[in-house]
Amino acid sequence: MPAELIQTVQTPESNYDQLTIAEATLVQQDLKKYLNLNPYLGPIRTIAGADISLSLHSETVFAGIVILSFPDLQPVSYSLIKSSTTFPYAPGYLAFREIPALLKAYEQISDKPDVVMFDGNGILHARRMGIASHFGILTDTVTMGCAKKKLVGKYDEPGDEKGRYCSVIDRQEEIGFALRTKNNLKPVFISPGNNMSLQDSLEIAMKCISKHRLPEPTRRAHEYVNLFRTGELREGYHEVNDLRLF
DNA sequence: GCGACAG
DNA sequence: ATCTTGTCGC
């Protein structure tokens, strides 16, 4: 990586808050040089969901990563951390608001997941550098995005039945999919983050669909992070010892 | 200038 | 994202 970029991203928790939008754009353009969209060949034994929860009118950020077994999708461990941010929310720059906290949550995981799914996009982004791709490049991990709303591009509405999907196209380029995860409900938007292909992201997303609109990884991450914010779960890395299974 | 716009 | 109650549909 270029020295300038390394200096900027090496310790995001201390630098991202001070970046201007123009500087953030340059960081994204630099990071894109390291994007890898080749097929993922390794096994998937665990898949994690990453998300954050915010208090209204506050700089406090509750970040969480929940690791699920694969393909059974049962929570096996989770990492929660409280942090703060002053970087404003701006479409296309979500990573600069959420990544510092998510990096802390990721660091305290002792048994890292094989894949991480983000509540947001991978390459389904104007500069192909959504939060999943950004995080995947910084940590050299296998990541993908699952957004609840379209950020950029055009697509045909997929059929009403669960499992149907259509490509999302932006400037002649296929950058993701609109995937129907539940009958008659709005689709979610899937794209690869880093170290996997477009097809990988679609196949993995389909294997994570259960009875809800959101795939299990991000659905669980959202659930845990809210339990954390409301004080029902504690900060730190925890193994799930669910005796209810027996 | 107008419309679009992850969380 | 978050603040909120009931309500319509599978």
Q: Is residue A240 part of a domain?
A: no
The answer to whether position A239 is within a domain reads: no
Q: CB of residue A55 closer than 7 A to nucleic acid strand C?
A: yes
Closest of A151, A48, A11 to residue A93, by C-alpha: A151
Task: Give me the percent of chain A exceeding a pLDDT of 90.
Answer: 89
User: Is A245 inside a domain boundary?
Assistant: no
- Residue A105 resides in a domain: yes
Q: pLDDT at residue A9 above 70?
A: no
pLDDT of the residue at A81? 98
Task: Give first-to-last CA distance, chain A, whole Å.
Answer: 49
pLDDT band of residue A241 (cuts 50, 70, 90) is: confident
Nearest nucleotide (C1') to the CA of residue A149? Answer: B6
Does A34 fall in a domain? Answer: yes
In terms of Cα–Cα distance, which of A187, A204, A44, A181 is closest to A118?
A204
The per-residue pLDDT of chain A, averaged, comes to 94
Domain residue limits at A120: 3-232
Judge whether A242 lies within some domain.
Answer: no
Q: Is A119 annotated as a binding residue?
A: yes
Q: Categorize the per-residue pLDDT at A55 as very low, low, confident or very high, splitting at 50, 70 and 90.
A: confident
Strand B, nucleotides < 7 Å from a protein CB: these are: 4-7
Total count of domains within chain A = 1
Distance between CA atoms of A11 and A159, rounded to whole angstroms? Answer: 44
- Give the tens place of pLDDT for each residue, A71-127: 999 999 999 999 999 999 999 999 999 999 999 999 999 999 999 999 999 999 999
A183: nearest nucleotide, CA–C1' criterion: C10
Q: pLDDT at residue A3 above 80?
A: no
Task: Kindly tell me if the per-residue pLDDT of A21 is higher than 80.
Answer: yes
Task: Give the pLDDT of residue A2.
Answer: 53
Q: Cα separation of A139 and A112, whole Å?
A: 11
Does A237 reside within a domain?
Answer: no
Whole-number pLDDT of residue A58: 83
Token pair listed for A175: 């950058």
Within a domain: A57 = yes
**What is the model's pLDDT at position A88?**
93
Instruction: Please determine, for residue A245, whether its predicted confidence score (pLDDT) is greater than 60.
Output: no
A173-218 pLDDT per residue, tens: 999 999 999 999 999 999 999 999 999 999 999 999 999 999 999 9
A226 CB neighbours strand C below 7 A: yes
pLDDT at residue A65 in the model: 98
* CATH number assigned to the domain comprising residue A51: 3.30.2170.10
Q: Is A51 annotated as a binding residue?
A: yes
Q: List bases, strand C, within 7 Å of protein CB.
A: 1-3, 10
Inter-residue contact A221 to A80 (CB < 8 Å): no
pLDDT confidence of residue A168: 98
Of A5-19, A116-130, A224-238, least confident by mean pLDDT is A5-19
